[in-house]
Chain A
Amino acid sequence: MEPTEEHIRELIGKLASQDYGVRLMALGRLVEASDAAVPQLLAALQHPNALVKACAACALAGIGAPQAVGALIALWEESPRDPSRMEALTEFATKLAQSANPATIPALIELLPCYKKTMGEGSVAGREISRIAAEGLRVLAYKAPTLTLRAALPALKRDMWHVSPDEFGEVRQVIEEATRPWKDLPVTASGPQMRAQELPLPADKPTLS
């Protein structure tokens, strides 16, 4: 039986409980409710209570809702050594990578820079998350190449300040080859910002007159 909106609202209210057990029970029920709980959980990410926000993000990670990517990264960045936050983001990235499809590309791209977000123990987890996301994009480039995959290319480039994961070079090459037909398409003004050397080149060099 699918839970009603009212029931989900009630469960989200319980995430603010002072009772640890009540919070864990509500978290489990929300994850079980799966997609039906996603809209209200996304709204709960703006909740003033930090407990509610953190639990809602974990629930969204459990469900694997790609819309939660920003909130999960922010939660992890707040406390990168927290095993439960690390676990939530790693498992979320794994789930997205395993079920990679055109709809999950933006979320996977957002996960790519995790390797440079934190220092120490957190950066090990960050590199792992970046690697998982890159792997998801690589598999997608093989299976179902699309134009949107090219938006990952800037994030996969060598970074002068941070040592990017070794796999990035290969993944970049795979995506580049798989999406070659779209290489010289014009870039829309609202698209991701590109550096001058990334702009598409004209097929013929213009002659100066």
Chain B
Amino acid sequence: MEATEEQIQELIEQLQSNHYKTRLIVLGKLVEYGEATVPMLLNVVSHNIEIHWRYVIRALAAISTLECVEPVVSCWEERPDDPVVIEAFRGLVDHFTAEARLENLPALLRLLTCYKRDLNVMSHGQTTSVGKTASLRAADILILLARHTPTPQLRVALPLLKRDLWHGVPKEFAEAYRQIDEATHLWKDLPLAVSELKTSMVGLPLPTTIPERGESETEQTMRNYGTN
């Protein structure tokens, strides 16, 4: 179903309606229009526009494109005990963990970090494990991808699956780490692109031979210009 920008804008404005009936109908329509509504819904989120925000989060979670991941996950991290947000978050997790697809990798990487929020919630006396479940399901999908379609991109997940001193990494992550590392071993020493995920010194690839220590190109240039 196609919709014009005006139609979408109008629907988003109707989310502020005082009528519950209207809000439910509009929510359904926004989901039906799908991906086309995402930029405007994201605009509402990023500009903190006064609107029934739970409806916006529900719509984004139901549409579940990659752009929807961050706002929905962040919203759940801020309100991990809100049942509406939990339901939306679960909807998003279901979508991205239903099938093993490499294009969903950024979403899976984001979900891998969700177990950390559960710890915070538990420290306040609650015992929800919504985040850990999401992280484990993401790890399972990454294992499937490693088995069936191993690619160098999967190695980006490795630092996230490593033991973390501050957060109790789920023990199941060790197995995911092992399987992905093994399946992508061929690409172990490829250089990292600048745009890749930040990695700690420990995660950097090692050169196969240790280079001899000589004068670097930079040092030579600086000497030539007499600045050294």
Contacts and interface: CB of A to CB of B under 8 A. Distances in A.
A82 B83 contact: yes
B202 to A, nearest CB: 38
Interface of A is mostly: helix
Contact of B24 (A21, A31, A79): A31
A59 B24 CA distance: 8
B21 A21 contact: no
A62 B31 CA distance: 18
A32 B28 contact: yes
Given A61-B20, A62-B20, A24 B94 contact: no
A58 interface: yes
A3 to B, nearest CB: 13
A63 B21 contact: yes
> Size band of the A side of the interface?
20 to 34
Chain B CB count within 10 A is highest, among A25, A58, A63, for A25
B20 A87 contact: yes
B21 A64 contact: yes
Interface in A50-84: 58-59, 61-64, 79, 81-84
B186 interface: no
A91 interface: yes
A95 interface: yes
A20 interface: yes
A62 B62 CA distance: 20
B82 interface: yes
B31 A24 contact: yes
B61 interface: yes
A28 interface: yes
Contact of B28 (A20, A24, A64, A87): A24
B26 interface: yes
A83 B58 contact: no
Interface string B22-33: 001111110110
B63 interface: yes
Contact of B62 (A20, A58, A63): A20
> Size band of the B side of the interface?
20 to 34
A26 B27 CA distance: 10
Interface of B is mostly: helix
B94 A19 contact: yes
Nearest to B32: A25
B24 A28 contact: yes
Chain A CB count within 10 A is highest, among B24, B27, B28, for B24
A88 B62 CA distance: 20
A133 interface: no
Given A20-B95, A21-B63, A83 B24 contact: no
A59 B21 CA distance: 8
Given A84-B54, A84-B84, A88-B20, A24 B25 contact: no
A28 B26 CA distance: 7
Contacts of B90: 20
Interface string B14-52: 000000110011111101100000000000000000000
Nearest 10 CB-CB pairings of A with B:
A28-B28, A20-B91, A91-B20, A21-B62, A82-B83, A62-B21, A31-B24, A62-B24, A84-B84, A24-B62
Interface of A: 18-21, 24-29, 31-32, 58-59, 61-64, 79, 81-85, 87-88, 91-92, 95
